[in-house]
Amino acid sequence: MFRPCLFLLSLFLTVASQAATRPNVLFVLCDDLRPDALGCYGSKHVKTPNIDRLAGEGVLFQNAFCTTSLCSPSRASILSGLYAHTHGVTNNFTEYPAAMESFPQVLQKAGYATAYIGKYHMGEENDEPRPGYDYFVTHKGQGKYFDTEFNFHGQKREVVKGYYTTVVTDMTLDWLKKQSADKPWCMFLGHKAPHSFYTPEPKYEHTFDDVRVPYPATAFQLNDKPQWIKERLYTWHGIYGPLFEWRKKFPDDRPEAVKDFENMVHGYWGTVLSVDDSMGRLRAYLEETGQLDNTLIVFMGDNGLLEGEHGMVDKRTGHEASLRIPIVARFPGLSTEGKKIPQQVLTVDMAPSILDLCGAPALPKIHGQSWTKLVREGDADWRKSWFYHYNYEKQFPYTPNVRAIRTDEWKYIHYPHGNGSPDRHLAELYNLKDDPDETKNLISKPEFVSKVSELQAELSKLMSATGLTPGTDKMPLDEGVKSELPDAKIR
């Protein structure tokens, strides 16, 4: 005889059991965060004890990279597991396709409560809710370090007084406190920090006043570099330019003008300290509520950042400082003590890894792969090479089209013109094992001709595997490095 009460009780216990075993997900994404701005990645000056603690109890990925070093394309790759040419977000002004699934959407369908709070940054002027989230709070454009206007799930817009990092952390904790114990949750927190214009909290404004910050040595090692890098020196993205308004009179290549550069770096570091405070508050809440060990915590940056390397600031290029990102993950199901992973891990690996750890269905036909096996037991078949691409932007005409390959030991970068004609910029070749700072461009050395051919063939193979061939790899025409400043609305 069918007994409805017993059936409902059984169903309730099953759901409760699944909620108890499926991990919650706290995904924290920073904007333009360099790995070396964190203590656990070796910073000598920036103290980040809360992030360091997560790394010490979990996993630190030593060689993590973005596949396109630009905010919106990288964020879309994190959500989808796809390269930019497939998800279609190839610049900072394009929406994440509404019909394209993301890992939060998959988790939502699998029974997770989902939320996004903070900087979303896909669709510059759109602050409305996006698919896949039960609760969505964001703002238009870049947001401000103080007093940003947020759209609260399409129900109201309101200027929230206070420092951005603190405000979005408060909102996150408010949402977490409302979650039911019988349902797992996924919270995606998007910080503005440490994106320009770098504005620390008042308590951190002068933390680094006594730390001298020179231009890096590679800023003056440009003899064997492409001409476009030298032309960039005096632009919005060069060390002699405005430095995101930290230099008021520009261009300025006087030796004493390095003080403006130093002030810029101090401001950048100061914003990171508040992010570490935020991670401490979030961890404390999870610990107090008994959820810490059943929560997968992922902390990462969307792309790297050049701070003077090769005379450049910003990102977009195929050089190491532009590509490298920090990724730290804490979950006892992965590791119960600090583990460092040396293999190359990419932004496109995040979605499949999170879904794998949550026991959720996989996203179909993606380019990334789950690093769960790699972390738990090692993976002899893990990638040893990958490709990078970026398309020239008319709004920021300081970087050419970039197509590059990075292996465990080598990097080859070339710059297609965009109309099928031969490259007009000198290519670059680096032995990363012997020259991790990319000080010696080996492209013109005859003894490396065979290495270049080998890397070109591997680059073509990797691109073809994702649908990019000479016939399908469409890109803008490279109109050259220009000196004008970008529109103030999109900086």
Residue with tokens 């924290």: 28
Characterize 284-293 residue by residue with b for buried, 16 or more Cβ atoms within 10 angstroms of its Cβ, and e for exposed: ebbeeeebbe
Grade residue 8 by pLDDT with cuts at 50, 70 and 90.
Answer: very low
- CA dist., res. 315 & res. 112, Å (int): 35
Do residue 310 and residue 192 come from a single domain? yes
Q: Quote the pLDDT of residue 429.
A: 99
The pLDDT value recorded for residue 478 is 98
Query: Does the pTM exceed 0.85?
Result: yes
**360 and 279: one domain?**
yes
Residue 78 sits in the same domain as residue 131? yes
Question: Do 107 and 146 lie in a common domain?
Answer: yes
Region 36-65 average pLDDT: 98
Which residues, in sequence order, are CB contacts of 33 under 8 Å at separation 6+?
193, 194, 272, 275, 300, 301, 302, 305, 325, 326
Name the domain count of the chain.
Answer: 2
Lowest mean pLDDT among 17-31, 234-248, 389-403: 17-31
**Domain carrying residue 432:** 387-466
pLDDT digit string (tens) for 294-341?
A: 999 999 999 999 999 999 999 999 999 999 999 999 999 999 889 999
Given a cut of 60, whether residue 18 has pLDDT beyond it is no
Residue 452: which CATH number? Answer: 3.30.1120.10
From 349, 383, 417, give the residue that closes a domain. Answer: 383
- 433-469: pLDDT as tens digits: 999 999 999 999 999 999 999 999 999 999 999 999 9
Tell me, yes or no, whether 377 and 392 share the same domain: no
Q: Are residues 394 and 371 in the same domain?
A: no
Residue finishing a domain among 332, 358, 383: 383
Both 369 and 406 in one domain: the answer is: no
103 falls within a domain: yes
Q: What pLDDT score does 16 carry?
A: 40
Residue 19 confidence (pLDDT)? 47
Average pLDDT over residues 77-106: 96
| Model pLDDT for residues 389-423, shown as the tens digit of each residue | 999 999 999 999 999 999 999 999 999 999 999 99
Q: List, for residues 134-191, the tens digit of each pLDDT value.
A: 999 999 999 999 999 999 999 999 999 999 999 999 999 999 999 999 999 999 999 9
Q: Is the same domain home to 281 and 412?
A: no
User: Does the structure show a pLDDT above 60 at 491?
Assistant: yes
The reply to whether 321 and 406 lie within a common domain is: no
What is the rounded average pLDDT for all residues in the chain? 95
Distance separating the N- and C-terminal Cα atoms of the chain:
68
Q: 435 and 356: one domain?
A: no
pLDDT grade for 487, boundaries at 50, 70 and 90 = confident
The reply to whether 209 falls in a domain is: no
Residues 397, 377 share a domain:
no
Residue finishing a domain among 383, 406, 435: 383
Distance, in Å, from the CA atom of 298 to the CA atom of 357, rounded to the nearest integer, reads: 12
Using a 10 angstrom Cβ sphere, with 0-12 exposed, 13-18 middle and 19 or more buried, the burial of residue 254 is exposed
pLDDT at 313: 98
- Listed in sequence order, the residues at least 6 apart from 139 whose beta carbon sits closer than 8 Å to its beta carbon are 119, 127, 148, 149, 150, 151
